[in-house]
Amino acid sequence: MLVVPAIDLLGGRCVRLHQGDYAQAETYDLDPIEVAQGFVAAGAQRIHLVDLDAARTGSATNRAVIGAIRKAVEVLVEVGGGIRSDDDVKALIDQGVDRLVVGTVLVKNPERVAGWAARFGAKFVAGIDARDGEVKVSGWEEGSALQDVDLAARCRRLGLISIVYTNIARDGTLGGPDLERTLLVAEAAGLPVILSGGIASLDDFETIRRADHPLLAGVITGKALYKNRIDLAEVIAKYQDNRHGGLW
């Protein structure tokens, strides 16, 4: 698997939410740029950035911080949160962002996403965030009446190259990953899937490794790093496979 450390940005600062609840944002007194550089020093080949302000409002963004992180590291950078317009896509691509994670617009205007993929190429990743199987949008604050596996099944046709799947009920809880649902989404899509949410320990990585599923391509971890529950360099040395991460 590829081990993908996460930086969630709210008001320009590193935070972690509990189950996507903005009222339960835990802020860390850390410089996001230095955090990203530390991840690279530990061996990370890919960094996952989330603009929580943009995800929630579609307007306020952390784009200056994202641009500074992109300039500061020489690894693949993916960004999710609030990517809903042509201007959003162009601005992030102009900043050198390698992968754009689309969620709300994928549900509300899938053909727009297909147009972006046709125009800009293999840069777009589906961000499927679900609670009890229902996809949530707009910073996880709105329902969609759409099942995660049904959305996953559409992704290849739209030109998406992979999926980041998050069980919202596990995110930020350190309660363990939802491997079962992640694999259902992977099989429905027939695309590489990055598991997100709930990672708490080395045991979780061992469980994922033992699943040995060909479409389970990576794991995002955030809160466990900030809480010093895992050592990124140790996890990467033990579990990371760098061979295919640049393709998806």
pLDDT digit string (tens) for 8-46?
999 999 998 888 888 888 999 999 999 999 999 999 999
**From the candidates 88, 129, 148, 204, which is the catalytic residue?**
129
CB contact at 8 A, 54 and 61: yes
> Would 12 be classed as within a structural domain?
yes
Distance CA 209, CA 203 (A): 10
Domain of residue 50 covers 2-239
Domain count, the chain: 1
Annotated active-site residue 129? The verdict is: yes
Encode burial over 187-226: b for 16+ CB neighbours within 10 A, e otherwise. Answer: ebbebbbbbbbbbbebebbeebeeeeeebbbbbbbbbbbb
CATH number at residue 229: 3.20.20.70
> Would 244 be classed as within a structural domain?
no
- To which H or E segment does residue 188 belong? helix 179-189
> Would 245 be classed as within a structural domain?
no
What is the reported pTM? 0.95
Q: Torsion angle, CA of 236/240/245/248, rounded to 10 degrees?
A: -100
**Residues of the chain under the 50 pLDDT cut:** none
CB contact at 8 A, 131 and 169: yes
> Would 246 be classed as within a structural domain?
no
The owner of tokens 């991460």 is 245
> Would 86 be classed as within a structural domain?
yes
> Would 119 be classed as within a structural domain?
yes
- To which H or E segment does residue 115 belong? helix 110-120
> Would 21 be classed as within a structural domain?
yes
Give the pLDDT confidence of 203-233 residue by residue, as tens digits: 999 999 999 999 999 999 999 999 999 999 9
